[in-house]
Amino acid sequence: MLLSEVKRALQTVDSVLFQLDSGAAVPNHFHVTEVGSVIKNFIDCGGTVRTEQFVGFQLWEADDFEHRLAPAKLLKIIADSERILGLQDGEVEVEYQAGTVGKYGLSFDGSRFVLESKTTNCSAQDRCGIPQEKVKRDLRELPVTPTCAPNSGCC
């Protein structure tokens, strides 16, 4: 989900709610402790230099159980990040600690933001030695070919 889409969604809701894609709710007393631009410069296992850039949100829970983040307040935090940091529109990645710190994609279901699980993958699969998955075929479906006679030189 793009930051611009988050901002549009915030204008349509009365409260900011997050849930994990498993359906478990992020407790309503969460804080957004960071909004910023995250740039990742790296070399993949194939030796290619790569750069990824995204908008980072960090959600955090404290013991202030009455805390609620209003949509207008989150919009102000985003506007401040755009103004002060020069934050540009881009995909949003959310950090949230549920057992350990996890990184999530983001979507909106019309009333709440959904933290979508992310997975790792190899950026250089064509160069890092991962064998291509072989197509499995049923031997009964292969065409029957004439067999070679012994000492005929055909095999």
- The answer to whether the beta carbons of residues 6 and 106 sit under 8 Å apart is yes
Tally the domains of the chain. Answer: 1
Structure token pair of residue 40: 């990742």
Q: Is residue 98 part of a domain?
A: yes
Q: Is residue 17 part of a domain?
A: yes
- The answer to whether the beta carbons of residues 6 and 79 sit under 8 Å apart is no
**Which contacts of 126-131 are long-range, i.e. CB under 8 A and separated by 24 or more positions?**
126/46, 127/45, 127/46, 127/47, 128/44, 128/45, 128/46
Q: How far apart are CA 72 and CA 15, in angstroms?
A: 9
Task: Band the pLDDT of 24: cuts 50, 70, 90.
Answer: very high
Q: Is residue 132 part of a domain?
A: no
What is the pLDDT averaged over residues 39-58? 94
Q: Is residue 142 part of a domain?
A: no
pLDDT tens across 84-121, in order?
999 999 999 999 987 789 999 999 999 999 999 998 88
Q: Is residue 77 part of a domain?
A: yes
Task: Band the pLDDT of 154: cuts 50, 70, 90.
Answer: low
Model confidence, pTM:
0.78
Q: Is residue 115 part of a domain?
A: yes
- Give the bridge partners for 57, in sequence order: 35, 94
Q: What H or E segment, with its residue span, contains residue 76? A: helix 71-85
Judge whether residue 132 has pLDDT over 90.
no
Q: Is residue 110 part of a domain?
A: yes
- The answer to whether the beta carbons of residues 71 and 16 sit under 8 Å apart is yes
Place of tokens 């901002």: 7
State the residue range of the domain holding 106: 3-120
Q: By mean pLDDT, which of 1-5, 29-33, 141-145 is the weakest?
A: 141-145
Q: Is residue 144 part of a domain?
A: no
Indicate the burial class of 75 (C-beta count within 10 angstroms; 0-12, 13-18, 19 or more): middle
pLDDT tens across 55-72, in order?
999 999 988 999 999 999
